[in-house]
Amino acid sequence: MKRIFAACLAVSCCTSAFTARADEPSFTLAQALERAGATSPAIESGAAGVLAAQAARSVAGLRPNPELNIQTENVAGSGDYRGFRSAETTAQVTLPLELGGKRPARVALANAQQDRAQIEQAVIVADLRLAVTQAYVTAVSAAERASVAQRQVAIAAEALRAAQARVRAGRASPLEAQRAELAHLNAQATQEQAERLANVARANLGRLIGGPVAGTLDLRWFETLAVAGPVDRAAVSDMLTARAAALDVATADAQVRLAGAQRVPDLQLFAGPRRLSGSNDTAMLMGINIPLQIFDNGGAAQAQARAERQRADATRRMTEIQLDQAIASADAEVANAEIAARIASGPALAAAQEAARIARIGYREGRFGQIDLIEAERALLDTRMAAIDALATYHDASARRDRLVAPASLFAKD
């Protein structure tokens, strides 16, 4: 997946060390998608489905096999028919004749099913891309939460040292040192929990792409928000979900055609030599088998196929309506998430950082109380976490929208 270079970087919620780490070589989303495409069992499943449909297309084009029937009559009886003296042996070849265009109808159905299998393969690929993207977003956001928690431990440790110094200087009561120590312990616990969740998210991403994730994740991509503007998309009818529903209709059409062809009875021509053991003569046997469609003339099967076709067409129209509604909702969700991410990682974060900086300076100089410092630090932590959550929500919403609007042509193969 190509990165969007024409984008606005959100205001960083990290220190200079954090920015330096973002510039290091990282394991990108494109690399994760590439690895998943090469190793995922889902891809193998989709490819096997296409191969099966191609084989079914070959089978549909074959003519019915002839039959060879050898039978012996008038044997093992009594009198003149004792033993094989009066045996009549016939070697008969039966040739089925398909009428009504059954073979072209079978081929048309197999072609439709093959097209449907190819779209199903594309759907599998699109779903895998979505799953990998969501796992990547979860992993990078969890890593950022762990990083914020780690910095919060350092901030809490500094606050603890400042409180202890104030207590030793007689400028504050021992209660302040106790509060600072409790905040430090809580920060350490939060860090341990965040690191554990980050390790789990990273391991889950590795399981999905078929191997461990090496290096840091792409923070620059995570912080990038796409520039809002008009979106050039394929028509709803050309999107993967709608295209799959349309091919279901095409398959149902082919089923109707095949059901109509099957109403025409097939003939069987047979011929072969018959040897008469009693006179040692040979004669030819020829004939034709004509089915009598007395109880089942195929009308019910054709009516069923027509009803299935009607249902497939109704499902297609309903799918397009629902897809259109889902895209509109997804557009609104992405737009709202983009605004929330810009605010949370921009003005809101800057304000919280400035408030915390002022509170630290004021606390060290004795102008602010410890409660003011604790509240400012808590607000900064909450804002940093909210910024990460907002970015994760934005990327998740974008990935789900991309899956909705994915055109079938994007996955077409030569």
What's the pLDDT at 95?
93
What's the pLDDT at 228?
60
Q: Which pair of tokens denotes residue 175?
A: 């209660």
Given a contact cutoff of 8 angstroms between Cβ atoms, the answer to whether 282 and 275 are in contact is yes
The residue assigned the tokens 């969501």 is 134
What's the pLDDT at 356?
75
Query: Using CA atoms, how far apart are residues 376 and 361, in angstroms rounded to an integer?
Result: 12
Exposure string (b/e) for 216-247, b if CB count within 10 Å is 16 or more? ebbbebbbbbeeeeeeeebebebbbbbbbbbb
CB neighbourhood size of 50 (10 A): 17
Residue 22 has pLDDT above 50, yes or no: no
Average confidence (pLDDT) over 20-47? 82
Q: Calculate the CA dihedral of residues 110, 112, 114, 120 and round it to 10 degrees.
A: -140
β 224-226/267-276 pair status = unpaired
What's the pLDDT at 158?
78
Q: Which residue has the higher pLDDT, 354 or 133?
A: 133
Query: Using CA atoms, how far apart are residues 139 and 221, in angstroms rounded to an integer?
Result: 13
* Tens digit of each residue's pLDDT (9 = 90 or more) over 307-316: 999 999 999 9
What's the pLDDT at 9?
25
Highest mean pLDDT among 39-43, 275-279, 394-398, 409-413: 394-398
What's the pLDDT at 214?
86
Residue 18 has pLDDT above 50, yes or no: no
What's the pLDDT at 11?
28
Q: Which residue has the higher pLDDT, 17 or 66?
A: 66
Q: Which pair of tokens denotes residue 342?
A: 């810009």
Average confidence (pLDDT) over 324-347? 90
Residue 44 has pLDDT above 80, yes or no: yes
Bridge partners of 27, per DSSP, are 217
Residue 393 has pLDDT above 60, yes or no: yes
Average confidence (pLDDT) over 314-330? 94
* Tens digit of each residue's pLDDT (9 = 90 or more) over 127-186: 999 999 999 999 999 999 999 888 888 888 877 887 788 778 777 678 878 887 888 898
The domain that holds 117 is classified in CATH as 1.20.1600.10
What's the pLDDT at 12?
30
Residue 1 pLDDT level (bands cut at 50, 70, 90)? very low
Q: Which residue has the higher pLDDT, 97 or 380?
A: 97
What's the pLDDT at 363?
65
Mean pLDDT of the chain: 84
Residue 72 maps to a domain: no
Residue 76 maps to a domain: no
Given a contact cutoff of 8 angstroms between Cβ atoms, the answer to whether 264 and 100 are in contact is yes
Residue 401 has pLDDT above 60, yes or no: yes
Residue 23 maps to a domain: yes
Residue 290 maps to a domain: no
Residue 12 maps to a domain: yes
Residue 282 maps to a domain: no
The residue assigned the tokens 């976490």 is 385
Residue 369 pLDDT level (bands cut at 50, 70, 90)? low
Residue 234 has pLDDT above 70, yes or no: yes
Domain count, the chain: 1
What's the pLDDT at 315?
95
Helix H, strand E, coil C: the string for the chain is CCCCCCEEECCCCCCHHHHHHHCCCEECHHHHHHHHHHHCHHHHHHHHHHHHHHHHHHHHCCCCCCEEEEEEECCCCCHHHCCCCCCEEEEEEEEEECCCCHHHHHHHHHHHHHHHHHHHHHHHHHHHHHHHHHHHHHHHHHHHHHHHHHHHHHHHHHHHHHHHHHHHCCCCCHHHHHHHHHHHHHHHHHHHHHHHHHHHHHHHHHHHHCCCCCCEECHHHHHEEECCCCCCCCCHHHEHHHHHHHHHHHHHHHHHHHHHHCCCCCEEEEEEEEEECCCCEEEEEEEEECCCCCCCCCHHHHHHHHHHHHHHHHHHHHHHHHHHHHHHHHHHHHHHHHHHHHHHHCHHHHHHHHHHHHHHHHHHCCCCCHHHHHHHHHHHHHHHHHHHHHHHHHHHHHHHHHHHCCEHHHHCCC
Q: Is 76 exposed, middle or buried (0-12, 13-18, 19+ CB in 10 A)?
A: exposed
What's the pLDDT at 82?
73
CB neighbourhood size of 7 (10 A): 13
* Tens digit of each residue's pLDDT (9 = 90 or more) over 105-120: 999 999 999 999 999 9
Residue 403 pLDDT level (bands cut at 50, 70, 90)? very high
Q: What is the domain extent for residue 224?
A: 7-63+98-263+298-411
What's the pLDDT at 23?
52
CB neighbourhood size of 194 (10 A): 21
